Amino acid sequence: MAVANPASRRTLLAMAAACLVAVALALVAQHAFDMRPCPWCILQRVIYLVIAVVCVIGALLTAPIGRKAAAGIALVFALLGAASAIYQHVVAAKSSSCNLTLADKIINSLGLESLFPAMFQVTGSCAEAAVSVLGVPFEYWSLALFVVLAGLAARPLIRG
């Protein structure tokens, strides 16, 4: 059995760490600065956590195919996260309600809000969640990280 490149393990762990830092920063913004998250914000948190879990599992695998599979799954979720950040900015932030949107339906179906309300409870509307940090909309910061994650996840798949 071939041993995978240690750089891919480091990359996967760095990706997981970046996702966890992003969620931690979102929680600080929510609880320390009263930024009320909308369903699209919460959906992006879920996506970050899925990517983190997938990357940690991938880093623990020794087979190169397992790490590539983890990178592929992380790539798909990073692209979904990027799409959700774009949708949040272009469509959702301009509407007063996020009720019954795709994000709201996903969050409700997962039942995470009742299990971990401090992390997953929707407390704001999409319009309320339209906040800027250093002059850049919050969802664009999220979009930038999702793009970086997608690029990192694509590297082992492109290299072959």
Q: What is the CATH number of the domain that holds 23?
A: 1.20.1550.10
pLDDT in tens, 3-48: 556 568 999 999 999 999 999 999 999 999 888 888 899 999 999 9
Residue 120: partners with Cβ closer than 8 Å, 6 or more residues away: 42, 45, 46, 107, 112, 113
Question: Range of 49's domain?
Answer: 6-159
Q: What is the count of structural domains for the chain?
A: 1
In a domain, 1, yes or no: no
**DSSP β-bridge partners for residue 136:** 133
Question: In this structure, what token pair is assigned to residue 52?
Answer: 């983190």
65-114 per-position pLDDT tens digit: 999 999 999 999 999 999 999 998 888 766 666 666 888 889 888 988 88
Secondary structure of residue 71 in the 3-state scheme: helix
